Amino acid sequence: MILADRIAIVTGAGSGIGRASAEILAREGAIVVVSDLERERADATVVRITSQGGRASAMAVDVADDAQLRALVDDTIARHGRIDILHSHVGVQVNGSAEQVDPAGMDRSWDLNVRAHFIAARLVIPHMKNQGGGSIVITSSNSGVQLDREMVAYATSKHAAVALARQMAADYARFNIRVNALCPGWVDTPFNEPFMRQMGGRDALEEYVRTQIPMGRWASADEIAEALLFLASDRSSFMTGQALVVDGGECL
């Protein structure tokens, strides 16, 4: 196991990519703190992990609330004494052009797609410095390295998430803290509903996936989790400040 006894926090781990991330980290030996807005979903992820012999605990966390993020980090330190991996995953998709997105939608995009990652990283970095290093992975999107039609709030915030990871990587490399951005392409989850509506429904999105992605299909959450494992583990020990795109060639 490449992560034996390491302590990992995963936000948004109650479903989709976040759940797959928590599961693969636990499979490789990490003790995973599973957080999600809904405690029931976090508990369900923990059951999936423990039923396979892994170790995990659950916590309900609204990442838009600084105090709840602090409680997540403080509780993890109190229980385990260290934090080796942070996968800050929670995000939101708000569709529309500049004329269509109201300021509240832009604010929510910034709060969840940028600010929450900043606060989570800011809270774990002192502990990682004290222990001699760690790995932080921020979920951005392939929309963080390209542009999408009429997705101004989403694309802007996802580009900012990549910049955030790169800046923190430059600032903290000397402390052996690596910070990278994970940039998934299309995974078939409810997260896509705003873009699906904008495109005109499920059939239109399916046609886009078939015709515009060179590999012609959706990614699975497990495929994205494999990339997360690479970034979280020593397999990427000389890699920091990168945006790892996993999108079936859509950005080509």
Q: Is the dihedral of CA 22, 173, 65, 139 positive or negative?
A: negative
Q: What is the pLDDT of residues 183-223, one digit of tens each?
A: 999 898 777 777 777 777 788 888 888 998 999 999 999 99
- Using DSSP, state whether 141 is helix, strand or coil: coil
Place 1 in a pLDDT band, splitting at 50, 70 and 90.
Answer: very high
3-state secondary structure 69-83: HHHHHHHHHHHHCCC
Element containing residue 161 per DSSP (H, E): helix 152-172
Contact 187, 220 (CB under 8 A): yes
Q: What is the pLDDT of residues 102-161, one digit of tens each?
A: 999 999 999 999 999 999 999 999 999 999 999 999 999 999 999 888 889 999 999 999
For 7-246, which CATH class? alpha beta
Domain limits, the chain: 7-246
Residue 49 has pLDDT above 90, yes or no: yes
Per-residue tokens: 175:
């402390």
Give the pLDDT confidence score for residue 247 in this predicted structure.
94
| Separation of alpha carbons 101 and 111, rounded Å | 15
Residue 68 has pLDDT above 90, yes or no: yes
| Separation of alpha carbons 31 and 51, rounded Å | 14
What's the half-sphere exposure (Cβ side, CA atoms, 13 Å) at 82?
Answer: 15
Residues annotated as part of the active site: 154
Amino acid at 148: D
**Do the bridges between strand 55-60 and strand 177-184 make them parallel or antiparallel, or are there none, so unpaired?**
unpaired
| Separation of alpha carbons 28 and 165, rounded Å | 24
Residue 239 has pLDDT above 90, yes or no: yes
Q: Is the dihedral of CA 207, 211, 213, 217 positive or negative?
A: positive
Q: At what angle do helices 66-80 and 116-131 cross, to 10 degrees?
A: 20
Give the pLDDT confidence score for residue 148 in this predicted structure.
81
What's the half-sphere exposure (Cβ side, CA atoms, 13 Å) at 102?
Answer: 1
Q: What is the pLDDT of residues 91-102, one digit of tens each?
A: 998 988 999 999
